[in-house]
Structure 1
């Protein structure tokens, strides 16, 4: 067998393993579990960290203020040093739309060793503690919620005894680049963190989606949230890990009516979104970076390369094995495209998208070593051990 055939065989084996042994990550039917209304609705404080979000706030904040929730609930928007009038706009929107009570706070600049978002979350949780809520809803400033979103989240948490219930908001998919990259972003995330395994007690898999996290207040205190994860750039995964490690029962699934209103119209916008945290996901390890690049090449690029090479060289084995690997890869991507209501002709383009993600990951490492890694809205965060050295 030629090297091309062996590569195609390895790629097909990898895809068969992913298809059957990686928690059925490709299925999109993990939604809020069956739930019933509790006898008494617990109090909830909604914490919204926001930095320079004036462009999206009119489409998101009113949806929180308009929550149809039978219990006591209020919103704490924490203005993280915005320069575009985010805090003032939030107060204006509250006056205009009414609904749940709104408190706007400002924690000041984050100290060394804290990311800005988690410093804002810490301030918001501190303000919320005065109300002694049973639950905290941590949601981003670009997330719009259906009127019954909070009710459904709380009902699911109470029915099944979850300490954390998180929904991955449906991201905006309108521009050409969004159509090409966004569904794949969620597909890759689910491949890394299969949703079914997250809810399993005893499983080591833990993840959440930072745009929508309902968290029991006592579970947050038990896990030391957010202080124990204060340096985390990928804070949602770190939060879920801390809660699960402290004995909490967590759940993550796809959302039906929780949507991101933030646009990513250009490739540059999406590139920055992915590359700012990709190398942090690899724990800033050159070895993990090399392994990831090789893995992406074997799993996503090799099937097409082997199929084409087989046709050119007349290798039936390479053509068949590469074609089968491509078929499995394409089939596993179709459910995510359906979830995002996208045309199925995008499925065969997954290798192109994977190549873009490979390049984004490499660029993330390059920017890190240039001192510009994990840069977001005017801030650049050091590697955790470097931040500790500075203190």
Structure 2
């Protein structure tokens, strides 16, 4: 039992460190910072990359067209070689709903060395540049915005002098698997990239949420976005790093009224979402993969295993220490469950969800070595660096 007790004690120590020293990642009160209306509302262009999004556009695009923005604003939807009439549907929605001006265009297939989304973003930014915007809002085709979303984002960026203001859209949690997996997805992301650290001056922690990113247009030029990150599969984190790399300021927090309308009803849908980029997050490094698997097991699986082993083998100390680690884990997860309006009894189930994520991460690595990694909507992307750098 001594080995089990010591392992449980290390897990408990890790949880105490995460609770107090990891940027208070578990708190969910990082929302849009204090803001005031600017004296003059700057012109804004909204860029929406879209590939085969006909199923969700009726729920998302009208919310962008209906933005109540006091300044000049328009929307550019870039149809990334869709096979489901995404572009035609976008034009029809604009005719039906009116609102902000909409331009729909397509750049064709991306060249080698570019992901499809970033190639579409590049094309959208090029179209927007002719309108001389001061800000660009990059938002995904499955994101629905409250009518004042653009106004509040611009006011927050202006007031805080941020180069990037990004909101983590509230993902859908309707199905059983969504309720089990989605809150943990955001929880794990915040654990890797504590939101409080991202917005702190001088902090090197950088991340954004790709579904909703407001950017200063001059920062786009300075940081060479998206050209500098054209191969990135996890493009939102790469974008934030590029901005911080040129001295820009980034803010990231949870959204109140920016929502993803994309459904992930089955475990397989969520599995593909996570596994397509998990190994890229580890820079395709086998040693980082082994370390991640070991870390997930120690932090998330050891506590319940210690409780079971202690009860089965009569080891009270192992059971108590494991239960303490499990309790801290559940307590840090509870705020995210409240944010997603889920019952708190789900908090002790986090080890099971973490085990699923462990399997997804391993599967992501297996797919990578089978040549099926980073596959999304009919495209498979090479590992960054595997293609020649075009400068």
Q: Which residue of 1 aligns with 2:8?
A: 8
Determine the C-alpha separation between the residues in 1 that align with 2:352 and 2:241: 32
Matched with 2:72 is 72
Other-structure match for 2:336: 336
Alignment partners' CA distance in 2, 1:14 and 1:193: 17
**Distance in 2 (alpha carbons) for counterparts of 1:312 and 1:2:** 15
Q: Following superposition of structure 1 onto structure 2, how do residues 43-122 of structure 1 map, counting pairs within 5 Å?
A: 43-122=43-122
SS in 2 for 1:386: coil
Alignment of 1:124-163 (within 5 A): 124-163=124-163
1:123–1:389 Cα change, 3 Å? closer
**TM-score (norm: length of structure 2):** 0.99
Partner Cα distance (1:353, 1:388) in 2: 38
Provide closer, same or farther for how the CA distance between residues 113 and 74 of structure 1 changes in structure 2, counting only shifts above 3 A: same
Partners of 1:14 and 1:344 in 2: how far apart? 23
SS of 2:388's equivalent in the other structure is helix
Is 1:362 aligned to residue 362 of structure 2? yes
1:120 positional shift: 0.2
Alignment check: 8 A CA contact 1:164 1:215 kept = yes
CA distance in 1, matches of 2:11, 2:258: 36
Contact 1:112 1:390 in 2 (8 A): no
- Superposition deviation, residue 149 in structure 1: 0.2
Deviations 1:286-309 (A, max 9, x none): 000000000000000000001111
Distance 2:247 2:131 in 1: 25
| Alpha-carbon distance in structure 1 between the residues aligned to 2:105 and 2:30 | 35
Shift in Å at residue 316 of structure 1?
1.9
| Corresponding position of 1:23 | 23
**1:211 equivalent in structure 2:** 211
Q: Describe how 1:304-383 pairs up with structure 2 within 5 A.
A: 304-383=304-383
Cα drift, residue 90 of structure 1: 0.2
- How many pairs were matched up? 391
- After TM superposition, give the deviation of residue 313 of structure 1 in Å: 1.4
The 5-angstrom pairing of residues 124-273 of structure 1 reads 124-273=124-273
Summarize the Cα distance change of 1:275–1:102 in structure 2 as closer, same or farther, 3 Å threshold: same
Partner of 2:386, secondary structure, is: helix
- Please give the root-mean-square deviation of Cα atoms over the aligned residues, in Å: 1.0
Asked whether 1:295 is paired with 2:295, we answer yes
Alignment deviations for residues 45-75 of structure 1 (CA, whole Å, 9 cap, x no partner): 0000000000000000000000000000000
SS of the counterpart of 1:384? coil
CA distance in 2, matches of 1:179, 1:134: 39
Distance 1:357 1:32 in 2: 29
- SS of 1:113's equivalent in the other structure is coil
Task: State the secondary structure of the residue aligned to 1:90.
Answer: helix
Determine helix, strand or coil for the equivalent of 1:385: coil
Offset of 1:389 from its aligned partner? 7.7
Contact 1:138 1:211 in 2 (8 A): yes
Q: Give the superposition deviation at 1:388.
A: 2.4
Q: Deviations over 1:210-241 (max 9, x none)?
A: 00000000011110000000000000000000
The Cα of 1:385 is off from its aligned counterpart by 1.4
Contact 1:74–1:100 (CA under 8 A) maintained in structure 2 = yes
Separation in 2, partners of 1:389, 1:75: 32
Unpaired segments ≥5 residues, structure 1: none
* Partner SS for 2:103: strand
Distance 1:117 1:387 in 2: 18
- Could you say what secondary structure the match of 2:147 adopts? coil
Separation of aligned partners in 2, 1:31 and 1:210: 16
Structure 2 SS opposite 1:32 = coil
The 2-side partners of 1:387 and 1:205 are apart by 27
Contact 1:181 1:353 in 2 (8 A): yes
Match of 1:104, SS?
strand
Query: Deviations 1:145-175 (Å, cap 9, x if unpaired)?
Result: 0000000000000011000000000000000
Counterparts of 2:175 and 2:250 in 1: how far apart (Å)? 34
The CA distance in 2 between the partners of 1:341 and 1:328, in whole Å, is 20
